[in-house]
């Protein structure tokens, strides 16, 4: 029996505000630009019919604000997972292995963990439809960047190079 394909979407939280240095990192809000970019990505996802079945989101205020602004354009189930706050590759793989049954999952989180997961899944190839400027910036995974993978394995069996990157979008690309 063929393995059912899964889709994984990675969305880094939008740009956060750094003016108030007294605020704890987990409590930092989005900047005005971050608010606009989160809404822009939500509109694009909705218009592209890329609504996830499930969103896993960090408890950080900037990630929660990104979720609210992005998901105002779609109706989707969400789970806040404390371990997503500043998760590394191993944490992210563990979280995905425990993901409830869903075919299209989005993770809203932070770097460097999202970038590590991106590189882990995309180990073998870069997509041919990316321009040179996009290819050079993919590893930077800027704020509000979106990566969309097709995965052949169950969530609990992800291995290095399993992902097929089908698109990488930054707000400035829209």
Say how many domains are in the chain.
1
Count CB atoms within 10 A of the CB of residue 160. Answer: 12
- State pLDDT tens for residues 114-150: 999 999 998 765 444 454 444 444 457 899 999 999 9
Is 105 a member of any domain? no
d(CA 92, CA 94): 5
- State pLDDT tens for residues 35-68: 999 999 999 999 999 999 999 999 999 999 999 9
Is 106 a member of any domain? no
d(CA 108, CA 59): 10
Is residue 90 within 8 A of residue 55, CB to CB? The reply is no
For the full predicted model, state whether its pTM sits above 0.75: yes
pLDDT > 90 in the chain, percent: 73
The parent domain of residue 78 ranges over 6-98+111-173
Is 104 a member of any domain? no
């Amino acid at each position: 029996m063929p393995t059912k394909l899964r889709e994984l979407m990675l969305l880094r939280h939008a740009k956060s505000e750094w003016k108030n240095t007294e605020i704890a990192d987990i409590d930092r809000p989005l900047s005005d630009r971050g608010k606009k970019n989160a809404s822009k990505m939500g509109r694009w996802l909705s218009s592209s019919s890329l609504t996830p079945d499930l969103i896993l989101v960090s408890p950080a205020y900037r990630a929660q604000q990104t979720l609210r602004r992005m998901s105002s354009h779609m109706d989707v189930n969400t789970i806040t997972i404390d371990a997503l706050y500043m998760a590394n590759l191993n944490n992210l793989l563990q979280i995905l292995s425990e993901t409830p049954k869903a075919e299209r999952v989005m993770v809203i989180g932070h770097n460097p963990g999202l970038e590590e997961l991106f590189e882990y899944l995309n180990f073998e190839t870069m997509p041919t439809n990316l321009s040179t400027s996009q290819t050079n910036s993919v590893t930077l995974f800027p704020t509000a960047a979106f990566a969309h993978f097709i995965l052949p394995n169950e969530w609990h069996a992800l291995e290095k190079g399993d992902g097929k990157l089908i698109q990488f979008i930054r707000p400035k690309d829209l």
